[in-house]
Amino acid sequence: MTVRLIQPTGRGFLLFDSHPDGCARLVTDMAERAQPATPANGGERPVALIIGSSSGYGLAATVAGISRYGVQGVGLCFERPPTERRTATAGWYRTIATAKLAEEAGSDFAFVNGDAFTDTTKDDVLDLIAKRFGGIDYLIYSVAAPRRTDPLTGVVHQSVIQPIGAEHVTKTLEFDSDGTPRLREIHAQPATAEETADTVKVMGGEDWSRWVDALDSRGLIRPGFTTVALSYIGSHLTSAIYRQGTIGAAKLHLESTASALGGRLSTYGGRALTSVNGAAVTQASTAIPGIALYVSLLRGVLGEDMRSPLDQSIDLWDQLLGAAPLDVDGQGRIRLDGWELAEDVQAAVTERWKVATADTIGDLADIDWFRDEVRRLYGFEVPNVDYSRLCDPDLPWPAA
Ligand SMILES: NC(=O)c1ccc[n+]([C@@H]2O[C@H](COP(=O)([O-])OP(=O)(O)OC[C@H]3O[C@@H](n4cnc5c(N)ncnc54)[C@H](O)[C@@H]3O)[C@@H](O)[C@H]2O)c1
């Protein structure tokens, strides 16, 4: 593909192209906000494997880890390279920028592009860890995927975002092609038992567990090893579609996997935890019915007090590395979502949700922020980027 002007064209929340400069700028902006700190162990660089490192919470954990604590290791994600017609996915460009950031910070960090669910990717990543570091201290599991091929059976499982048991009617926020916000009511049909089981196969703890098994069988787990998988609970407003729905079933499985893994890892003095994070605008979350409306209202209520994935990832590393006390709930889950689920915040969001109409939504929700956040997922609407510049989208994956 030749050097060209890259524009935000697409449909709904999906854009066709990503802007390399905008994606790079987002990463450097995040890095600037993650001030360096010294871990309780005195400053030895921890080694981490971060799965889902190119986007959302996994990217934030990678950038925060590198910038704040000089974390080294391997980032794994699944991104599409540039083609003749299209730029690469945004995560491709964010990974290039994250690799540069690591290099500048003196952090030995390699990035692998591959399907985390396959045994070949596991072998490649573990070979890299064995050769480069000899073992790891942290595994952060932050994958959001639409499907998974079970490596034992070859069966492809698709995840769905549906309620369980009964139809659910919810308000949802959409945008016309000219960007005008629309409030619509949608009827989400209940998932079948098979669809729920498939979603658990994709988004539950099975693959996380297989990664820990693979690390263990290769002798790569260091004493005191900690693994964390990302989870979500959220509001009663979204619970029918999320926490009580198919994805919630997968999250319950993830949380019970943490207990099982924790028992096994105790022989290494290790821990397996889930981290319940707050709502954020990511490629994965915009696919969930009602979430666009909910997050826009949440931002309308909280404004700048909304905690970004980077803020929460800083909290996560501070807790993991002993710079702050581990904040776990009665079920052993790290809770980074207190700001979202605070009673007064939920009461205010609920009130706005109830009264929102097509005419009032612009006053009740921060629609402009949401629309810009969606565009920023693709590297557009990023401050201090010259979008009139001709860009070369054909950038290579960083050398491992
Ligand atoms: N977005 C939210 O509001 C929110 C809130 C709390 C918890 N979470 C959880 O955080 C985790 C990450 O979600 P996100 O919203 O950051 O998603 P995201 O879409 O921003 O990122 C997903 C990441 O997974 C990678 N990925 C997808 N399929 C893969 C595969 N087969 N192999 C390797 N990598 C793959 C992508 O490349 C990307 O790096 C999920 O467990 C999600 O449930 C999200």
Per-residue pLDDT of the chain (400 residues; tens, 9 = 90+): 689 999 999 887 889 999 999 999 999 999 999 989 877 667 789 999 999 999 999 999 999 999 999 999 999 999 999 999 999 999 999 999 999 999 999 999 999 999 999 999 999 999 999 999 999 999 999 999 999 999 999 999 999 999 999 999 999 998 887 778 889 899 999 999 999 999 999 999 999 999 999 999 999 999 999 999 999 999 999 999 999 999 999 999 999 999 999 999 999 999 999 999 999 999 888 888 899 999 999 999 999 999 999 999 999 999 999 999 999 999 999 999 999 999 999 999 999 999 999 889 999 999 999 999 999 999 999 999 999 999 999 999 999 8
Residues 6+ apart with CB under 8 A from 313: 34, 57, 60, 61, 63, 64, 65
Whether 242 is catalytic? yes
What residues contact residue 114 under an 8 Å CB cut-off, 6+ apart?
A: 76, 78, 120, 121, 124, 125
DSSP one-letter string for 182-221? EEEEEEEPPBPHHHHHHHHHHHSSHHHHHHHHHHHHTT-E
Q: What are phi and psi of 230, to 5 degrees?
A: -80, 140
Q: Which atom of ligand 1 is nearest to the CA of 144?
A: 22
Distance from the alpha carbon of residue 148 to the mean position of ligand 1, in angstroms: 14
User: Which of 95, 120, 143, 336 should be mutated for ligand 1, with most atoms under 8 A from CB?
Assistant: 143
Q: How far is the CA of 388 from the centre of ligand 1 (A)?
A: 31
Burial of 210 (0-12, 13-18, 19+ CB in 10 A): middle
Count Cα atoms within 13 angstroms, Cβ side, for 128: 22
Q: Which two tokens stand for residue 211?
A: 């990664």
| Ligand 1 atom, smallest distance to 115 CA | 32
SS3 379: coil
Catalytic, out of 69, 242, 294, 378: 242
Pocket test for ligand 1, best of 282, 283, 295, 316 (most atoms within 8 A of CB): 282
Q: 108 CB less than 6 Å from ligand 1?
A: no
| Ligand 1: centre distance to CA 276 (Å) | 13
Please identify, by atom number, the ligand 1 atom nearest to the C-alpha of residue 277: 6
pLDDT at residue 177, rounded to an integer: 74
Whether 91 lines ligand 1, by a CB cut-off of 6 Å, is yes
Domains, the chain, ordered by start = 10-160+196-287+305-338 (3.40.50.720)
Q: Is the CB of 284 within 6 Å of ligand 1?
A: yes
Could you tell me where the beta strands, DSSP code E, fall in the chain? Answer: 10-11, 14-15, 47-51, 72-77, 109-113, 136-141, 147-149, 156-158, 168-175, 181-188, 221-231, 271-276, 334-335
Please state whether the predicted TM-score (pTM) of the whole model is above 0.95.
yes
> To test the ligand 1 pocket, which listed residue (201, 285, 307) has its Cβ within 8 A of the most ligand atoms?
285
Task: Please tell me the predicted confidence (pLDDT) of residue 2.
Answer: 81
Name the residue with the closest Cα to ligand 1, atom 5: 279
Ligand 1 close to Cβ of residue 279 (< 6 A): yes
Q: Is the CB of 289 inside a 6 Å radius of any atom of ligand 1?
A: no
| Ligand 1 neighbour 205 (Cβ under 6 A) | no
By CB atoms closer than 10 A (0-12, 13-18, 19+), residue 388 is exposed
Residues 6+ away with beta carbon under 8 Å from 251:
203, 204, 231, 232, 233, 243, 274
| N-terminal to C-terminal alpha carbon distance within the chain | 24
pLDDT at site 339: 98
Q: Say what the pLDDT of residue 1 is.
A: 60
| Ligand 1 pocket member 204 (CB < 6 A) | no
Contact 377, 12 (CB under 8 A): no
Extract the tokens encoding 263: 């028992």
Residues in Cβ contact with 256 at an 8 Å cutoff, skipping those fewer than 6 apart: 205
